Amino acid sequence: MTTRSAIKSSAMKMSHPHRTKMHAATQSQPEFVETFAYDAPPLKQTNALMNQTTTTNVDGKIDIEYARARIPAELPRSKRLQVEERIKKLLIEKNAVLVAHYYVDPYIQDLALATGGCVGDSLEMARFGQAHSADTLVVAGVRFMGESAKILSMEKTVLMADLEAECSLDLGCPIEEFSAFCDAHPDRTVVVYANTSAEVKARADWVVTSSIGLEIVTHLHNRGEKLIWGPDRHLGNFIQKKTGADMLLWQGSCIVHNEFKATELVQLKNEHPDAVVLVHPESPDSVVELADVVGSTSKLLSATKDMDASTFIVATDLGILHEMQKQSPNKRFLAAPTAGESATCKSCAFCPWMAMNGLEGIEHALNTNSGEIILDKKLATRALLPLQRMLDFAAEHKKRVQASGDIVKDRPLFQNVGAA
């Protein structure tokens, strides 16, 4: 079993020249004592990443304070097992199902699978919840994922461990400013990434994910349509280069993927010349250009299973390493670097808001019905239209996503539609 603390601690096994420096930095941190089969950085819950600010809107005026992320303390093993057992009983009593994102704590991921739930990306989670017979969906992820699940399942109760678990892309695209941006260019079709609020989705003509976005933009470009793209500028730039489409890009970014560094990645590639580089397209262009595989979390996960390589450098949130290692236990996974020589860790690629999901929060939500996602029905109806437009497009291109309840069986169905 690999906890988030274990993911952080496993850097002690890193084989590159910075290993000694990184190990020395953890000598006063007794919690970093375990090692695991994949490589990742030492990272305390109070890491400086959470105290940084960044500007993410088109005018560069919106500050996101990562100190808001309240990461729950890791539970002792005996207490964790007790909480897990109580959650299992509550899921049955409430006719509920747990759906978890690849980036949340590994214990939560494994609990979701053990109880008949789902581990996936945001679209997989929402579609799984829609197809499942449960009355209540417990979403372990960030707020926009809970909203997406609610949009597709308005008749169901959708709960979250912490409603303040946000997303920098969502926060960096406030509806008032984005709507004004769209109004200033009324001749353009509005295409938004799934990592947005229900209000922004309702303002859009299309909602897309990172895999099918390329095909949908190609389709719209071939029809002669000019586009507004939001909120991730890096994914938008990637698609724009691939398609040649006329796109105005909202200047948002993901706090995790925006931090990957090309210079450091080149150095790591030189140290591991046979490693395959996997990059999520929310990363900067200079990093994407170094990739062997570019794609959504599901696509990157599939690549680790399907390719013959024994070593992979992974440029996305560290949470995905848990599932990668489970599916390919004999392969090695190196966390792509996000920082320079003076940094406290070579790769700080984890989302503090994802880390806010805890087992006790899930138990509390089930016990009290707290953390419920509430959406206005008219808003949800409007937000469903562009989302359904994407799903219909996927169906026409034989990429229909139909969840059976067996996540292993269903994963190939989801991978061509893509992830948020």
Looking at residue 346, what is its pLDDT?
61
Question: 210 CB contacts (<8 Å, ≥6 apart)?
Answer: 193, 235, 280, 281, 282, 295, 296, 418, 419, 420
Beta-bridge mates of residue 192: 207, 230
Looking at residue 97, what is its pLDDT?
98
Name the DSSP class of 14: -
Output the six-digit token pair for 288.
Answer: 């994407």
Average pLDDT of the chain, as a whole number? 81
CB 372 within 8 A of CB 184: no
Looking at residue 395, what is its pLDDT?
77
Question: 280 CB contacts (<8 Å, ≥6 apart)?
Answer: 210, 257, 294, 295, 296, 297, 300, 315, 316
Looking at residue 410, what is its pLDDT?
54
Residue keyed to tokens 């262009």:
285
Looking at residue 365, what is its pLDDT?
98
Q: Which of 271, 189, 238 is nearest to 18 (CA)?
A: 271
Give the residue ranges of the chain where pLDDT is below 50. 1-64, 66-69, 342-344, 399-405, 407-408, 413-414, 416-419
Looking at residue 103, what is its pLDDT?
94
Looking at residue 73, what is its pLDDT?
87
Pairing mode, if any, of strands 189-193 and 227-230? parallel
> What's the predicted TM-score (pTM) here?
0.79
Sign of the CA dihedral with 10 first, then 12, 16, and 21 last: positive
Looking at residue 352, what is its pLDDT?
85
